[in-house]
Amino acid sequence: MSLKVKKIVSSRLRTSYLSSVISTSLVLFLLGVVGILVFNLNRLPKTIRDQITISINLEDTITNRSAMRVLAMVELKEFVDKARYKSKDETGKEMSGELGDDFIKLLGENPLPSRIDINLKPDYFSPEGIEHAMRELRKLEGIKDILYNKSLFEQVAENTKKVSIIILIFVVLLLFISVFLINNTIRLAIYSKRFLINTMKLVGANTTFIRTPFLTASIWQGLISGFIAIILLLGLILILRNDFSNILELTDANMFGTLFAMILVLGSLINFVSTYIIVTKYTKVGVDDLWEG
């Protein structure tokens, strides 16, 4: 008798869970999209930070060998992300390109010094970090002066922090809403089986026996929903990879491996926990209460 009842439950659950799988897949897909944004949280600020440099002008009398030594010392600093050396000829050509004229011919000589352009690491994009970098750089020999836009550095640091907080708050809210939607979808699916659960109780089935087919189905439902969400994400990535490759990292296999694993685990876990709670509830209510849901 118990085996027959279990088969009936499994058969009826498969039909009622189709809409639940679709709904859960869409929610997990939305979570996946947000996950891509979260993994790329530092990508856009980094793109902006790469455009903001500190220019270290070297002394006019410095030799090329000494300039290379200064460059090596700069690259060893813990706050330096990238460092690039530009000779007098390179700085002159760069300025001519910006002015649109060969100013060296007008002046008769190149007044620009050779320099080293550096980008700071993200952790040093703060007033304290920039001041620390300035103090360390000024200790080096062969440096004439250091040029940077302090207000721009501080503005980027402040805006990056605000954007990060806003995105994290949005992620938390979306996760809460997703759990609510998935839980509500499962609740409606199991609600239609509440009398079947009561029938199983009447024929002597214990709580564990009643829960087993529901929990098994919930795990499969979560995995199937996760795979559908992953397929949708892969389709979205193929569409966006050409137009948004400069702002979003869409080729990192490790990142997407982690994201896809999280989608599968999250989908199965939410389904399992929600199903466990809801089925347990219906195993404890009386037949009269079943009419109220």
Contact 288, 215 (CB under 8 A): no
Fold that domain 53-148 belongs to in CATH: Alpha-Beta Plaits (3.30.70)
User: Torsions phi, psi of 74, nearest 5?
Assistant: -65, -45
Contact 200, 213 (CB under 8 A): no
Between these two residues, 18 and 276, which has the higher pLDDT value?
A: 276
Q: Model pTM?
A: 0.60
Reported confidence tier of residue 96, pLDDT bands at 50, 70, 90: low
Residue linked to tokens 């009826």 = 12
Pairing of strands 143-147, 54-58: antiparallel
pLDDT at 237 over 80: yes
Contact 261, 227 (CB under 8 A): no
Between these two residues, 77 and 96, which has the higher pLDDT value?
A: 77
pLDDT at 89 over 70: yes
Condensed to tens digits (0 to 9), the pLDDT of residues 137-174 reads 988 888 889 888 877 777 777 777 777 788 778 878 88
What average pLDDT score do residues 282-286 get?
74
pLDDT at 254 over 90: no
Q: What is the 3-state secondary structure (H, E, C) of 251-293?
A: CCHHHHHHHHHHHHHHHHHHHHHHHHHHHHHHHHCCHHHHCCC
Condensed to tens digits (0 to 9), the pLDDT of residues 6-63 reads 555 555 555 556 777 888 888 889 888 888 877 776 565 566 666 778 899 999 888 8
Reported confidence tier of residue 1, pLDDT bands at 50, 70, 90: very low
pLDDT at 94 over 60: yes
Condensed to tens digits (0 to 9), the pLDDT of residues 175-226 reads 888 888 888 888 877 777 777 777 787 777 787 888 888 888 889 888 999 9
pLDDT at 271 over 60: yes
How big, in percent rounded to 5, are the helix, strand and coil portions of the chain?
70, 10, 20
Reported confidence tier of residue 77, pLDDT bands at 50, 70, 90: very high
How far does the chain reach from its first CA to its final CA, in angstroms?
A: 27
**Most distant CA pair in the chain, distance:** 103
What average pLDDT score do residues 63-78 get?
90
Confidence (pLDDT) at 279: 85
Q: Nearest-CA neighbor of 122 among 169, 76, 156?
A: 156
CA–CA distance, 99 with 117 (Å, rounded to integer): 20
pLDDT at 249 over 80: no
Confidence (pLDDT) at 286: 64
pLDDT at 73 over 80: yes
Domain boundaries, the chain: 2-44+158-290, 53-148
